[in-house]
A = this chain, B = another copy of it.
C-alpha cells in the first residue's frame, strides 16, 4: 500500500545514506537501514538506486563536484602567485570539509583493505593539481625534475590524510596551522 507522493525521496535517501555511512562505514550499513532511516520502504530505495554502492557513488560525485566548485571559486579570487593559489585552494577544501565533514569522510575515507588505491575518487581530484604543476613548469616557476603526476598524487594523499585526521577532532589544530603545513609541503613551493 503506497503512501502519498514523497517529497524528494531521493534526497532523503542520499542524506540518510550519508549519515549512516559516515557513522558506521559502508560495510556496516545496508540498504534496509538506509531506507528505514529515510522513513521510506525498501522498495523505494531500489526504485531510486541500483544498490547501496550506487548511492555511495552518487554521494561521492556530489561531494567531488562541491569541492571542485569551492576550489575554483577560491582560485578565481586569489592572485596568481603560486603561494597564494596553493593557500587559497587548501583553505577552500578545508572550509568545505569542515562544513561537510560527513560528506568528506564518506568520499575520501578508506574503503577496502587490499584495495590498492584511493580509487577513481582520488584520481579525479589529483588531475587538476597535476595540470597546475605542469603549467608552473612550463612557466619556469618550478623545476622540471618533478614528476607532475607523482607530485600531484603525493600532495593529494597528504591533503586527504591530513583532513581526515583533522576531522576526527577539529580541536587538534588551527585551520591556519593546517594551511601553513599543507602549503609548506606543497610540491609547487618546495625545491629539490
Contact = CB atoms under 8 A, between A and B. Distances in A.
Interface residues of A, number: 60
30 contacts: A21-B113, A22-B114, A25-B113, A25-B115, A26-B113, A26-B114, A27-B112, A105-B115, A109-B116, A110-B110, A110-B113, A110-B115, A111-B111, A116-B167, A118-B161, A122-B161, A145-B180, A146-B181, A147-B177, A150-B166, A150-B181, A153-B165, A155-B158, A157-B160, A157-B165, A180-B192, A181-B187, A184-B192, A185-B187, A185-B190
Interface of A: 21-29, 56, 105-107, 109-119, 122, 145-147, 149-151, 153-158, 160-162, 164-168, 172-173, 177-178, 180-182, 184-187, 189-192
B119 A110 contact: yes
Nearest to A28: B112
A114 B27 CA distance: 9
A105 B113 CA distance: 7
A191 B190 CA distance: 8
